[in-house]
Structure formats: structure tokens, C-alpha cells
Structure 1
Amino acid sequence: MLQYTIRRLFSIIPVMLIVSVIVFLIVHLTPGNPAYLILGEDSSPEAIAQLEKQLGLDKSMAVQFVDWIKNILMGDLGQSIYSSEPVIQVIMERVGPTFSLMITAMSLTLIIAIPTAVFIVWRRNTILDPLFTSASLLGASIPEFWFAMLLVLGLGVAVPIFPVAGYVAIDVGLGDWIYHLILPAFVLASVEIGLIARMLRDGMLESVNQDYTKTARAKGVRESVVLMKHVLSNALIPTTTVIGVMIAGLLGGTVIIETIFTIPGIGQLLIDSIHRRDYPVIQGVVLFIAVVYVFVNLLIDLLYAFLDPRIRYD
């Protein structure tokens, strides 16, 4: 296990290098001059050229990329062009709202998806099964931004039950924290609930008539115990992979949801930085998302060994 983990950690290096190259090229090849945006349209060419030199934008792209990689290896993501603050500090200030939104959305997903899948398998071969399939496909097909706008208009404006904007830190109050996150978190979870429940339901249906479940029933074990102890535990292994992908999808989905609900997280920071052409922050945020994605996949692979003792990485 340890050797496998070390190999996977070393394999992250070329992945991050490729991500760095792609992000750098996309950011710097996109039209727009940060110096022009900072000084305004009435600024003189001399002032713009001076600010470009001050920001290091007058250098060639190759030199800028090499300097950026050197700084990353030393743990420095640079400074924000807009605020002159270290990029790492800017990102860390926005991590709390984003991770809070992700944790709430993931909790809602698992709380709803797992019992739903177990119940559908328990009531298999009834009218509930095709209804569940249709509902899961509908949930996965609805665009997040459209569903978010519907909830804002329905539960935030027409019937003002939930707040439609803003974020409250958890140290202010647990109730207010959840109250402000429940609506955007449900939007993020709505797409994933159907996917997780459908995957878990399919996995359980494959195990429900296996020999070990028939043996358990022959011993007089109740059907609910068979489903929870034998069928569900085996179906969780492939579902865990989908949950790992879901976590990465939630991190990407926050870009849209945080903008709609005005949550000051990583997603809104990325959108604001794109508007400002704040190159260091854009590169730092995308690199941060890539690192989280890679490490989540590593943790999911390691989790397999705990869910199934037959899996070994030696």
C-alpha cells in the first residue's frame, strides 16, 4: 500500500506539469490586457507599457512560464495583479465557502441517494422502479444554472423561504450557515443524486441474487439485513468511484452556483479574476482545482482496499 501511494504521488508531478502548460497557454493567449484594464481606457500607451514592465508582462511567454514554474516549485503562486496579495492567501480566504458548499451538497446527495437506492431495490419489480429511473434521468438532464434560477424565483422571490444570495460563516452560527447553503447545495446535489442512486441501485441489483445472498436468505436472515449487510456493501465499491468523480464535479459546479447565489468562494473568485485578467489568480485557482481532483482520486483508490479486503496494491 505504501509503495503504491508513493508511486501515485510521484505520478502527480507530470499531470500537474501538463495542467500548468495548458492553463498558462489558455490564459495568456486569451485577448485582454491586464494593464489596460487596471489603468482604464483613458490611460496613455506609455503608462500601460510601464505597468506591463512592472507586472512582468513585457517578457516573452516562455520566460513568464519558466518564472511561474520556478515560483511554484518554491511554493509561491505569485501575487494578484488586482490586489497585490499573494495568490495562496487569496485562495485560502475563499476555500471556506466553497468547501462548505461542497460538503453540504455531498451530504445531501448521500443522505437522499443511498436510502432511495436501497428502497428501490427492496421494492424492485414494482411500479416504483421505472418511476425512479425516469426521475433520475430527469434530474441528471436539468442544467444546474436553469434549476438554480427556478429555485431562486420560486423559493427565494415568490415564496421567500430561503435567502438567494450571500454566505454566513459557520462560526457565526450553525443554523444560519446551513440556512444560507441549503438552496445552492441542493442545486448542486440535484444532478448527483440521480447518478449516485442509479449507480448504487444497478450495483445492488447485480448482487441481490448472488449465491451468498441466497445462502443468507436460506439461513433465515431477513431481507432488510441481506440488503444492508451483504448487497449494499458490495455495491458501494463501484459507487465509490462515481462519488469521487462527483466531488470533482461539485468543485467545478461551484463556479456557476457561487456566481448565481453570490457566494464568495473559489468559483466566484475564478469568474472575477477572468473578468479582471488577473493571470496569477486564474492560474493558481485552476491549479488548485486540479490538485484537489488528483488527490481525491488517489484517496478513492486507497479506499477500495478498506471496502474490499480482496483488493491489494502490492
Structure 2
Amino acid sequence: MLQYTIRRFISIIPVMFIVSVIVFLIVHLTPGNPAYLILGEDSSPEAVAQLEEQMGLNKPMALQFVDWIKNIFVGDLGESIYSSEPVTDVIMDRIGPTFSLMITSLTIALFIAIPIAIFVVWRRNTFLDPLFTSFSLVGTSIPEFWFALLLVLGLGVAVPIFPVAGYVPIAEGFIDWIYHLILPAFVLAAVEIGLIARMLRDGMLESVNQDYTKTARAKGVRESIVLMKHVFSNALIPTTTVIGVTVAGLLGGTVIIETMFTIPGIGQLLIDSIYRRDYPVIQGVVLFIAVVYVIVNLLIDLLYAFLDPRIRYD
């Protein structure tokens, strides 16, 4: 297990290098000059050239990339062009709202998807099967921004139950914190509920008529125990994979949802930085998202060995 973990961590290096190259090229090949945005369109060419020299934007692109990569290896993502703060500090200031939104969304998705999947398997071969399939397809097909607009209009404007904007840190009170997160978190969770529930239900249906489940029933074990002890546990491997993908999807979904609900997280920071042509922050945020995605996938792979003792990474 230790050797496998070390190898996986080493394999992250080339992946992140490729990601950094793609991110750097996309950002720097996008039209727009940060110097003009900072000084204004009426600024003189001399002033723009001087600011570009201060920010290092007058260097050849290859040299800018080399400097950026060297700084990454020492933990320096550069400074924000907009605020002159270290990019690492800017990202760390925004992690709290984003992770709060992700954790709340994942919790809602699991608390709804798992009981639904188990209940549908328990009542299999009834009208619930086609009903569940229809609802899960609808859930995975709903565009997040459209669903968010419906909830805002319905539960935030027409019937003002939940706030439609803003964020309250958990340090200022758990009730206010969760109250401001419920609406955006449910929007993110809605798409993932159908995916997780369907994967868990399909995995359980594959195990429900296996020989070991028939043996358990023949011994007089109740159906509920058979479902939870034998069927559910064997369906966790593919479901865990989907949950890992879901975490990455939630992180990407925060870009839209945080902007719509004005939550000061990583997603809104990325959108604001794109408008400002703040190259260092854009590169740092995208690289941070890629690191989280790779680490989550590594943790999911390691979790397989704990869920199924037959899996070994020797």
C-alpha cells in the first residue's frame, strides 16, 4: 500500500505539469492586456509598457512559463495583478466558502440518494423502478444555472424562505451559516443525487440475486439485513468511484453557483480574475482545482482497499 501511494504521488507530477502548460497557454493566449485594465484605456503606451515591465509581461512567453514553474516548486504562485497580494493567500482566503458549499452539497446528496436507492431496490419490480429511472434522468439533465434561477424565484422571491445571496462564516453561527448555504448547496446536489442513486441502485441490483444473498435468505436472514449487510456493502465500490467524481464536479460547479449566489469562494474568484485578466490568480486557481481533483481520485483509489479486503495494491 505504501509503495503504491508513493508511486501515485510521483505520477501526479507529470499530470500537474501538463495541466500547468495547458492553463498557462490558455490564459496567455486569451485576448486582453491586464496593464490596460489597470491603467485604463486612455493610458499612454509608455505607461502601459512600464507597467508590463514591472509585472514581467514584456518577457517572452516561454520565459514567463519557466519563471512560473520554478516559483511553483517553492510554493510561490506569484502575486495578484489586481490586489498585489500573494496568490496563495488570495486562494486560502476563499477556500472556506467553497469547501463549506461542497461539503454541504455532498452531505445533502448522500442523505437523499442512498436511502432512495436502497428503498427502490427493496421495492424492486414495482412501479417505483420506471419512476425512479425517470426522475434520476431528469435530475442529471437539469442545467444548474436554470435550476438555480427557479429556486431563487420560487423560494427566494415569490416565497422568501431562504436568502438568495451572501455568505456567513460558520464562526458567526452555525444556523446562519447553513441557512445561507441550503439553497446553493441543494442546487449543486440536485444533479449529483440522481447519479449517485442510480449507480448505487444498479450496483445493488447486480448483487441482490447472487448466490451469497440466496444462501443468506435460505438461512432465514431477513430481507432488510440481506440488503444492508450483503448487497449494500458490495455496491459501495462503484458508488464510491461516482462519489469521487461528484466531489470534483461539485468543485467545478461552484464556479457558476458561487457567482449566481454571490458566495465569495474559489469559483467567484476565478470569474472575477478572468474579467480582470489577473493571470497569476487564474493560473493559481485552476492549478488548485486540478490538484484537488487528482488528490480526491488518489484517496478514492486507496479507499477501495478498506471497502473490499480482496483488493491489494502490492
Q: Which TM-score bucket, shorter chain as reference?
A: over 0.9
**What is the correspondence of 1:60-139 to structure 2 with a 5 Å cutoff?**
60-139=60-139
Equivalent residue of 1:171, what SS? Answer: helix
Q: How far 1:41 moved relative to its partner?
A: 1.1
Matched, 1:178 2:178: yes
**Alignment match, 1:212:** 212
Equivalent residue of 2:171, what SS? Answer: coil
**Alignment match, 2:166:** 166
Q: How far 1:42 moved relative to its partner?
A: 1.3
User: Considering only aligned residues, what root-mean-square deviation do their CA atoms show, in Å?
Assistant: 0.4
Unaligned stretches of 5+ residues in structure 1: none
Equivalent residue of 1:220, what SS? Answer: coil
Q: How far 1:49 moved relative to its partner?
A: 0.5
Instruction: Give the Cα–Cα distance (whole angstroms) in 2 for the partners of residues 222 and 170 of structure 1.
Output: 43
Q: How far 1:262 moved relative to its partner?
A: 0.3
Equivalent residue of 2:235, what SS? Answer: helix
**What is the correspondence of 1:225-264 to structure 2 with a 5 Å cutoff?**
225-264=225-264
Equivalent residue of 1:196, what SS? Answer: helix
Q: What is the letter of the counterpart of residue 130 of structure 1?
A: P
Instruction: Give the Cα–Cα distance (whole angstroms) in 2 for the partners of residues 238 and 86 of structure 1.
Output: 40
Matched, 1:9 2:33: no
Instruction: Give the Cα–Cα distance (whole angstroms) in 1 for the partners of residues 96 and 75 of structure 2.
Output: 21
What's the TM-score once normalised by structure 2's chain length?
1.00
Please list the CA deviations of residues 24-76 of structure 1 after superposition, one character each: whole Å capped at 9, or x if unmatched.
00000000000000000111111001000000000000000000001001110
Q: How far 1:161 moved relative to its partner?
A: 0.3
**Alignment match, 2:187:** 187
Instruction: Give the Cα–Cα distance (whole angstroms) in 1 for the partners of residues 310 and 74 of structure 2.
Output: 41
**What is the correspondence of 1:232-311 to structure 2 with a 5 Å cutoff?**
232-311=232-311
Q: What is the letter of the counterpart of residue 280 of structure 2?
A: P
Instruction: Give the Cα–Cα distance (whole angstroms) in 1 for the partners of residues 292 and 268 of structure 2.
Output: 17
**Alignment match, 2:59:** 59
Equivalent residue of 2:31, what SS? Answer: coil
**Alignment match, 1:150:** 150
Equivalent residue of 1:291, what SS? Answer: helix
- Report runs of 4+ in structure 1 exceeding 3 Å deviation: none
Name the % identity: 86
Equivalent residue of 1:7, what SS? Answer: helix
Instruction: Give the Cα–Cα distance (whole angstroms) in 2 for the partners of residues 179 and 216 of structure 1.
Output: 45
Instruction: Give the Cα–Cα distance (whole angstroms) in 2 for the partners of residues 41 and 7 of structure 1.
Output: 51
Equivalent residue of 1:125, what SS? Answer: coil
Please list the CA deviations of residues 267-291 of structure 1 after superposition, one character each: whole Å capped at 9, or x if unmatched.
0000000000000000000000000
Q: How far 1:86 moved relative to its partner?
A: 0.3
Unaligned stretches of 5+ residues in structure 2: none
Instruction: Give the Cα–Cα distance (whole angstroms) in 2 for the partners of residues 150 and 218 of structure 1.
Output: 50
Instruction: Give the Cα–Cα distance (whole angstroms) in 2 for the partners of residues 197 and 295 of structure 1.
Output: 24
